[in-house]
Structure 1
Protein backbone atom coordinates (compact mmCIF):
# COMPACT_ATOMS: atom_id res chain seq x y z
CA UNK A 1 0.00 0.00 0.00
CA UNK A 2 1.42 3.40 -1.01
CA UNK A 3 1.59 5.87 1.85
CA UNK A 4 0.10 9.31 1.43
CA UNK A 5 2.56 12.02 0.37
CA UNK A 6 2.10 15.27 2.27
CA UNK A 7 3.08 18.53 0.58
CA UNK A 8 2.95 21.73 2.61
CA UNK A 9 1.99 24.85 0.67
CA UNK A 10 3.22 27.63 2.96
CA UNK A 11 2.44 31.24 2.17
CA UNK A 12 2.17 34.77 3.49
CA UNK A 13 -0.42 37.00 1.86
CA UNK A 14 -1.34 40.64 2.49
CA UNK A 15 -4.22 41.12 0.06
CA UNK A 16 -5.08 37.58 -1.04
CA UNK A 17 -3.24 37.13 -4.35
CA UNK A 18 -0.45 34.96 -2.95
CA UNK A 19 -3.09 32.91 -1.14
CA UNK A 20 -4.92 32.35 -4.44
CA UNK A 21 -1.69 31.11 -6.03
CA UNK A 22 -1.20 28.79 -3.06
CA UNK A 23 -4.64 27.27 -3.60
CA UNK A 24 -3.93 26.55 -7.27
CA UNK A 25 -0.60 24.97 -6.37
CA UNK A 26 -2.47 22.82 -3.82
CA UNK A 27 -4.92 21.78 -6.55
CA UNK A 28 -1.97 20.68 -8.68
CA UNK A 29 -0.55 18.68 -5.78
CA UNK A 30 -3.83 16.89 -5.17
CA UNK A 31 -4.25 16.03 -8.86
CA UNK A 32 -1.49 13.45 -8.29
CA UNK A 33 -2.68 10.16 -6.82
CA UNK A 34 -1.62 9.50 -3.20
CA UNK A 35 -0.61 13.16 -2.70
CA UNK A 36 -2.28 15.65 -0.39
CA UNK A 37 -1.67 19.36 0.14
CA UNK A 38 -1.69 21.12 3.51
CA UNK A 39 -2.23 24.87 3.19
CA UNK A 40 -0.39 26.77 5.91
CA UNK A 41 0.49 30.40 6.60
CA UNK A 42 3.02 32.19 8.80
CA UNK A 43 2.24 34.50 11.69
CA UNK A 44 1.92 38.12 10.59
CA UNK A 45 4.29 40.69 12.09
CA UNK A 46 2.45 43.80 10.95
CA UNK A 47 -1.28 43.74 11.83
CA UNK A 48 -3.45 43.65 8.70
CA UNK A 49 -7.15 44.32 9.24
CA UNK A 50 -7.87 44.28 5.49
CA UNK A 51 -7.20 40.58 5.00
CA UNK A 52 -7.71 37.34 6.88
CA UNK A 53 -6.88 33.74 6.07
CA UNK A 54 -8.50 30.48 7.07
CA UNK A 55 -5.21 28.54 6.81
CA UNK A 56 -3.59 27.49 10.10
CA UNK A 57 -0.26 28.99 11.13
CA UNK A 58 2.51 26.45 10.49
CA UNK A 59 4.34 24.69 13.30
CA UNK A 60 7.91 23.42 12.95
CA UNK A 61 7.05 19.72 13.51
CA UNK A 62 4.79 19.88 10.42
CA UNK A 63 7.70 21.08 8.31
CA UNK A 64 9.88 18.28 9.65
CA UNK A 65 7.32 15.65 8.66
CA UNK A 66 6.39 16.92 5.19
CA UNK A 67 7.49 15.22 1.95
CA UNK A 68 7.75 18.42 -0.05
CA UNK A 69 7.27 22.16 0.32
CA UNK A 70 6.06 25.13 -1.71
CA UNK A 71 6.57 28.57 -0.19
CA UNK A 72 5.08 31.84 -1.37
CA UNK A 73 5.33 35.48 -0.37
CA UNK A 74 4.32 38.82 -1.85
CA UNK A 75 7.14 41.02 -3.09
CA UNK A 76 8.37 43.39 -0.41
CA UNK A 77 10.99 45.68 -1.95
CA UNK A 78 12.35 42.84 -4.08
CA UNK A 79 12.49 40.42 -1.17
CA UNK A 80 10.29 37.96 0.71
CA UNK A 81 8.04 39.49 3.36
CA UNK A 82 9.32 40.09 6.90
CA UNK A 83 6.83 37.53 8.22
CA UNK A 84 8.15 34.79 5.92
CA UNK A 85 11.77 35.69 6.68
CA UNK A 86 11.02 35.69 10.42
CA UNK A 87 9.60 32.19 10.14
CA UNK A 88 12.71 30.83 8.40
CA UNK A 89 14.93 32.52 10.97
CA UNK A 90 13.33 30.19 13.54
CA UNK A 91 14.17 26.94 11.72
CA UNK A 92 17.74 26.49 13.00
CA UNK A 93 16.81 23.32 14.91
CA UNK A 94 15.61 21.70 11.66
CA UNK A 95 18.80 22.79 9.90
CA UNK A 96 21.04 21.32 12.62
CA UNK A 97 19.16 18.01 12.47
CA UNK A 98 19.11 17.98 8.65
CA UNK A 99 15.35 17.37 8.70
CA UNK A 100 14.70 18.97 5.30
CA UNK A 101 17.65 17.55 3.37
CA UNK A 102 16.72 16.06 -0.04
CA UNK A 103 13.07 17.10 0.13
CA UNK A 104 11.76 18.83 -3.04
CA UNK A 105 10.68 22.46 -2.80
CA UNK A 106 9.51 25.36 -4.95
CA UNK A 107 8.63 29.04 -4.59
CA UNK A 108 5.91 31.43 -5.81
CA UNK A 109 5.16 35.14 -5.46
CA UNK A 110 3.00 38.11 -6.44
CA UNK A 111 3.78 41.78 -6.99
CA UNK A 112 1.74 44.92 -7.56
CA UNK A 113 3.46 45.75 -10.87
CA UNK A 114 4.94 43.81 -13.82
CA UNK A 115 8.50 44.72 -12.84
CA UNK A 116 8.00 44.76 -9.08
CA UNK A 117 10.75 42.31 -8.16
CA UNK A 118 9.15 38.91 -8.65
CA UNK A 119 12.32 37.06 -9.62
CA UNK A 120 14.52 38.56 -6.88
CA UNK A 121 11.82 37.67 -4.34
CA UNK A 122 11.74 34.10 -5.62
CA UNK A 123 15.53 33.96 -5.35
CA UNK A 124 15.37 35.25 -1.76
CA UNK A 125 12.97 32.44 -0.82
CA UNK A 126 15.23 29.84 -2.44
CA UNK A 127 18.18 30.76 -0.20
CA UNK A 128 16.94 29.21 3.08
CA UNK A 129 15.71 26.17 1.16
CA UNK A 130 19.19 25.63 -0.29
CA UNK A 131 20.78 26.08 3.12
CA UNK A 132 18.43 23.39 4.44
CA UNK A 133 19.61 21.05 1.68
CA UNK A 134 16.28 20.96 -0.12
CA UNK A 135 15.99 20.18 -3.84
CA UNK A 136 14.71 23.44 -5.34
CA UNK A 137 12.77 23.20 -8.58
CA UNK A 138 11.12 25.71 -10.92
CA UNK A 139 8.79 25.56 -13.91
CA UNK A 140 10.29 24.18 -17.16
CA UNK A 141 9.68 25.80 -20.53
CA UNK A 142 7.83 22.68 -21.61
CA UNK A 143 4.83 24.41 -19.98
CA UNK A 144 3.21 26.32 -22.89
CA UNK A 145 1.86 29.16 -20.70
CA UNK A 146 5.38 30.08 -19.63
CA UNK A 147 6.02 31.26 -23.21
CA UNK A 148 2.88 33.32 -23.60
CA UNK A 149 1.73 34.69 -20.22
CA UNK A 150 2.02 38.44 -19.66
CA UNK A 151 0.30 38.39 -16.26
CA UNK A 152 2.87 36.31 -14.37
CA UNK A 153 4.89 33.12 -14.31
CA UNK A 154 8.66 32.68 -14.37
CA UNK A 155 10.99 29.69 -14.75
CA UNK A 156 11.76 30.18 -11.04
CA UNK A 157 8.14 29.57 -10.04
CA UNK A 158 4.55 30.72 -10.34
CA UNK A 159 3.86 34.43 -9.97
CA UNK A 160 1.14 36.98 -10.52
CA UNK A 161 0.59 40.70 -10.75
CA UNK A 162 -1.83 41.62 -7.98
CA UNK A 163 -4.18 44.55 -8.20
CA UNK A 164 -5.73 45.54 -4.90
CA UNK A 165 -9.50 45.36 -5.14
CA UNK A 166 -9.44 42.95 -8.10
CA UNK A 167 -10.35 39.31 -7.58
CA UNK A 168 -9.27 36.27 -9.55
CA UNK A 169 -6.10 35.29 -11.35
CA UNK A 170 -5.28 35.17 -15.04
CA UNK A 171 -6.03 31.74 -16.57
CA UNK A 172 -2.43 31.17 -17.69
CA UNK A 173 -1.17 32.11 -14.23
CA UNK A 174 -3.45 29.50 -12.64
CA UNK A 175 -2.28 26.91 -15.19
CA UNK A 176 1.34 27.53 -14.24
CA UNK A 177 0.60 27.37 -10.51
CA UNK A 178 -1.31 24.11 -11.01
CA UNK A 179 1.56 22.66 -13.10
CA UNK A 180 4.09 23.69 -10.47
CA UNK A 181 2.14 21.94 -7.71
CA UNK A 182 1.71 18.87 -9.87
CA UNK A 183 5.43 18.70 -10.67
CA UNK A 184 6.33 19.09 -6.99
CA UNK A 185 3.97 16.28 -5.99
CA UNK A 186 5.21 13.92 -8.71
CA UNK A 187 8.80 14.55 -7.65
CA UNK A 188 8.02 13.97 -3.97
CA UNK A 189 6.19 10.76 -4.86
CA UNK A 190 9.08 9.51 -7.00
CA UNK A 191 11.63 10.31 -4.28
CA UNK A 192 9.49 8.55 -1.69
CA UNK A 193 9.23 5.45 -3.90
CA UNK A 194 12.99 5.50 -4.47
CA UNK A 195 13.65 5.74 -0.76
CA UNK A 196 11.20 2.90 -0.02
CA UNK A 197 12.72 0.58 -2.63
CA UNK A 198 16.25 1.19 -1.34
CA UNK A 199 15.30 0.13 2.22
Structure 2
Protein backbone atom coordinates (compact mmCIF):
# COMPACT_ATOMS: atom_id res chain seq x y z
CA UNK A 1 0.00 0.00 0.00
CA UNK A 2 1.25 3.47 -0.82
CA UNK A 3 2.10 6.20 1.70
CA UNK A 4 -0.48 8.49 0.09
CA UNK A 5 -3.79 8.86 1.89
CA UNK A 6 -6.45 7.39 -0.42
CA UNK A 7 -10.08 8.45 -0.21
CA UNK A 8 -12.57 6.25 -2.05
CA UNK A 9 -15.35 8.23 -3.74
CA UNK A 10 -18.01 5.59 -4.38
CA UNK A 11 -21.03 6.87 -6.30
CA UNK A 12 -23.72 6.23 -8.88
CA UNK A 13 -24.86 8.87 -11.36
CA UNK A 14 -27.40 8.47 -14.13
CA UNK A 15 -27.55 11.96 -15.64
CA UNK A 16 -24.33 13.53 -14.39
CA UNK A 17 -25.23 15.74 -11.41
CA UNK A 18 -24.04 13.25 -8.80
CA UNK A 19 -20.89 12.74 -10.85
CA UNK A 20 -20.27 16.51 -10.83
CA UNK A 21 -20.49 16.42 -7.03
CA UNK A 22 -18.06 13.47 -7.01
CA UNK A 23 -15.63 15.49 -9.13
CA UNK A 24 -15.87 18.52 -6.79
CA UNK A 25 -15.35 16.23 -3.79
CA UNK A 26 -12.30 14.77 -5.54
CA UNK A 27 -10.91 18.27 -6.07
CA UNK A 28 -11.21 18.88 -2.31
CA UNK A 29 -9.48 15.59 -1.54
CA UNK A 30 -6.60 16.55 -3.82
CA UNK A 31 -6.45 20.03 -2.29
CA UNK A 32 -5.94 18.41 1.12
CA UNK A 33 -2.99 16.42 -0.22
CA UNK A 34 -4.69 13.04 -0.57
CA UNK A 35 -5.56 10.85 -3.55
CA UNK A 36 -9.16 10.59 -4.75
CA UNK A 37 -10.10 7.13 -6.03
CA UNK A 38 -13.36 7.38 -8.00
CA UNK A 39 -15.40 4.19 -8.28
CA UNK A 40 -18.95 3.29 -9.18
CA UNK A 41 -21.20 0.28 -8.92
CA UNK A 42 -22.25 -1.65 -11.99
CA UNK A 43 -24.49 0.71 -13.95
CA UNK A 44 -26.18 0.65 -17.35
CA UNK A 45 -24.39 1.79 -20.49
CA UNK A 46 -26.24 5.11 -20.67
CA UNK A 47 -25.37 6.23 -17.13
CA UNK A 48 -22.82 9.01 -16.55
CA UNK A 49 -20.94 6.87 -14.02
CA UNK A 50 -19.60 4.56 -16.76
CA UNK A 51 -16.56 6.86 -16.89
CA UNK A 52 -15.12 5.35 -13.71
CA UNK A 53 -14.08 1.83 -12.75
CA UNK A 54 -16.44 -0.52 -10.95
CA UNK A 55 -15.76 -0.76 -7.23
CA UNK A 56 -14.02 -3.87 -5.95
CA UNK A 57 -14.14 -4.99 -2.34
CA UNK A 58 -10.35 -4.58 -2.22
CA UNK A 59 -10.98 -0.84 -2.69
CA UNK A 60 -12.57 -0.85 0.78
CA UNK A 61 -9.48 -2.34 2.39
CA UNK A 62 -7.10 -0.06 0.49
CA UNK A 63 -8.89 3.22 1.24
CA UNK A 64 -8.19 5.48 4.20
CA UNK A 65 -11.64 7.07 4.02
CA UNK A 66 -14.80 6.81 1.96
CA UNK A 67 -17.32 9.27 0.56
CA UNK A 68 -20.48 7.76 -0.95
CA UNK A 69 -22.93 9.46 -3.29
CA UNK A 70 -26.21 8.63 -4.97
CA UNK A 71 -29.15 10.36 -6.55
CA UNK A 72 -32.24 10.16 -4.38
CA UNK A 73 -34.53 7.24 -5.10
CA UNK A 74 -37.72 7.88 -3.13
CA UNK A 75 -35.70 9.07 -0.15
CA UNK A 76 -33.14 6.28 -0.39
CA UNK A 77 -29.90 5.49 -2.21
CA UNK A 78 -29.70 3.85 -5.63
CA UNK A 79 -30.41 0.11 -5.30
CA UNK A 80 -27.07 -0.85 -6.85
CA UNK A 81 -25.21 0.83 -3.98
CA UNK A 82 -27.45 -0.92 -1.44
CA UNK A 83 -26.77 -4.24 -3.18
CA UNK A 84 -23.02 -3.62 -2.97
CA UNK A 85 -23.19 -3.04 0.79
CA UNK A 86 -25.34 -6.12 1.27
CA UNK A 87 -22.44 -8.16 -0.13
CA UNK A 88 -19.79 -6.85 2.29
CA UNK A 89 -20.37 -9.12 5.30
CA UNK A 90 -16.85 -10.55 5.01
CA UNK A 91 -15.31 -7.05 5.06
CA UNK A 92 -17.62 -6.06 7.94
CA UNK A 93 -16.50 -9.08 9.99
CA UNK A 94 -12.84 -8.27 9.27
CA UNK A 95 -13.38 -4.63 10.25
CA UNK A 96 -11.68 -3.23 7.14
CA UNK A 97 -13.48 0.13 7.45
CA UNK A 98 -13.41 0.53 11.23
CA UNK A 99 -12.28 4.00 12.38
CA UNK A 100 -11.99 5.40 8.86
CA UNK A 101 -13.73 8.74 8.14
CA UNK A 102 -16.73 8.75 5.82
CA UNK A 103 -19.24 11.16 4.32
CA UNK A 104 -22.22 11.11 1.96
CA UNK A 105 -23.63 13.20 -0.91
CA UNK A 106 -26.73 13.18 -3.10
CA UNK A 107 -28.73 14.93 -5.81
CA UNK A 108 -32.42 15.19 -6.57
CA UNK A 109 -34.62 16.72 -9.22
CA UNK A 110 -36.67 18.73 -6.72
CA UNK A 111 -36.22 20.59 -3.45
CA UNK A 112 -38.38 18.07 -1.61
CA UNK A 113 -36.98 15.02 -3.35
CA UNK A 114 -35.86 13.22 -0.19
CA UNK A 115 -32.27 14.45 0.10
CA UNK A 116 -31.97 14.40 3.89
CA UNK A 117 -33.45 10.92 4.24
CA UNK A 118 -31.17 9.71 1.43
CA UNK A 119 -28.10 11.16 3.13
CA UNK A 120 -29.08 9.65 6.47
CA UNK A 121 -29.88 6.24 4.99
CA UNK A 122 -26.54 6.17 3.14
CA UNK A 123 -24.78 6.77 6.45
CA UNK A 124 -26.33 3.65 8.02
CA UNK A 125 -24.20 0.98 6.27
CA UNK A 126 -21.11 3.13 6.87
CA UNK A 127 -21.90 3.29 10.59
CA UNK A 128 -22.44 -0.48 10.65
CA UNK A 129 -19.00 -0.86 9.09
CA UNK A 130 -17.53 1.15 12.00
CA UNK A 131 -16.80 4.31 10.06
CA UNK A 132 -16.81 7.84 11.53
CA UNK A 133 -19.26 10.11 9.72
CA UNK A 134 -18.08 13.61 8.79
CA UNK A 135 -20.54 16.32 7.79
CA UNK A 136 -20.40 19.95 6.72
CA UNK A 137 -20.30 22.35 9.69
CA UNK A 138 -22.46 25.46 9.80
CA UNK A 139 -19.26 27.51 9.74
CA UNK A 140 -19.19 26.82 5.98
CA UNK A 141 -20.53 30.14 4.67
CA UNK A 142 -22.00 28.47 1.58
CA UNK A 143 -24.56 26.64 3.73
CA UNK A 144 -26.08 30.03 4.52
CA UNK A 145 -25.82 31.31 0.94
CA UNK A 146 -27.19 28.41 -1.10
CA UNK A 147 -30.76 28.38 -2.36
CA UNK A 148 -30.39 24.86 -3.74
CA UNK A 149 -28.30 21.95 -2.42
CA UNK A 150 -26.10 21.67 0.63
CA UNK A 151 -26.73 20.31 4.10
CA UNK A 152 -24.87 19.62 7.35
CA UNK A 153 -25.54 15.93 6.53
CA UNK A 154 -23.52 16.09 3.31
CA UNK A 155 -23.10 17.74 -0.06
CA UNK A 156 -26.06 17.84 -2.42
CA UNK A 157 -27.55 19.28 -5.61
CA UNK A 158 -31.12 20.28 -6.42
CA UNK A 159 -31.70 20.18 -10.16
CA UNK A 160 -34.82 22.32 -10.51
CA UNK A 161 -33.25 25.21 -8.67
CA UNK A 162 -30.02 25.33 -10.65
CA UNK A 163 -30.47 23.09 -13.69
CA UNK A 164 -28.48 19.92 -14.23
CA UNK A 165 -25.17 21.68 -13.55
CA UNK A 166 -24.20 22.08 -9.91
CA UNK A 167 -24.04 25.73 -8.86
CA UNK A 168 -21.09 27.53 -7.24
CA UNK A 169 -22.33 26.90 -3.68
CA UNK A 170 -23.03 23.22 -4.24
CA UNK A 171 -19.60 22.87 -5.87
CA UNK A 172 -17.82 24.63 -3.01
CA UNK A 173 -19.64 22.61 -0.31
CA UNK A 174 -18.79 19.36 -2.11
CA UNK A 175 -15.16 20.42 -2.37
CA UNK A 176 -15.10 21.33 1.33
CA UNK A 177 -16.57 17.93 2.24
CA UNK A 178 -13.86 16.12 0.27
CA UNK A 179 -11.16 18.24 1.84
CA UNK A 180 -12.58 17.68 5.33
CA UNK A 181 -12.70 13.89 5.01
CA UNK A 182 -9.17 13.81 3.56
CA UNK A 183 -7.79 16.06 6.32
CA UNK A 184 -9.49 13.87 8.92
CA UNK A 185 -7.95 10.73 7.43
CA UNK A 186 -4.52 12.38 7.35
CA UNK A 187 -4.87 13.55 10.98
CA UNK A 188 -5.87 10.03 12.02
CA UNK A 189 -2.77 8.68 10.33
CA UNK A 190 -4.88 6.50 8.04
One fold, TM greater than 0.5? yes
Q: Does 1:49 align with 2:63?
A: no
Give 1:22's aligned residue.
Answer: 22
Displacement of 1:168: 2.2
Displacement of 1:49: 2.9
> 2:12 touches 2:49 (CA, 8 Å); kept in 1?
no
Q: TM-score, normalised by structure 2?
A: 0.94
Q: Does 1:173 align with 2:170?
A: yes
Q: Does 1:151 align with 2:148?
A: yes
Q: Secondary structure at the match of 2:73?
A: coil
Matches within 5 A, 1:64-143: 64-143=61-140
Q: Secondary structure at the match of 1:102?
A: coil
Q: Secondary structure at the match of 1:53?
A: helix
Report Cα offsets for 1:33-64 as digits up to 9, x if no partner.
Answer: 2x1101110112xx453645210001001111
In 2, distance between residues paired with 1:142 and 1:39?
A: 27
Instruction: Give the paired residue count.
Output: 187
Change (3 A) 1:112 1:48: farther
In 2, distance between residues paired with 1:48 and 1:122?
A: 26
In 1, distance between residues paired with 2:84 and 2:122?
A: 11
How big is the alpha-carbon RMSD for the aligned residues of Structure 1 and Structure 2?
A: 1.5
Q: TM-score, normalised by structure 1?
A: 0.90
> 2:19 touches 2:49 (CA, 8 Å); kept in 1?
no
Compare 55-64 and 154-163 and name the one that shifted more.
154-163
Report Cα offsets for 1:68-100 as digits up to 9, x if no partner.
Answer: 000000000000010110111111111010111
> 1:10 touches 1:41 (CA, 8 Å); kept in 2?
yes
> 1:14 touches 1:48 (CA, 8 Å); kept in 2?
no
Change (3 A) 1:139 1:50: closer
In 2, distance between residues paired with 1:151 and 1:111?
A: 10
In 2, distance between residues paired with 1:38 and 1:50?
A: 19
Give 2:186's aligned residue.
Answer: 189
Structure whose CA Rg is larger: 1
In 2, distance between residues paired with 1:37 and 1:162?
A: 25
Q: Does 1:36 align with 2:35?
A: yes
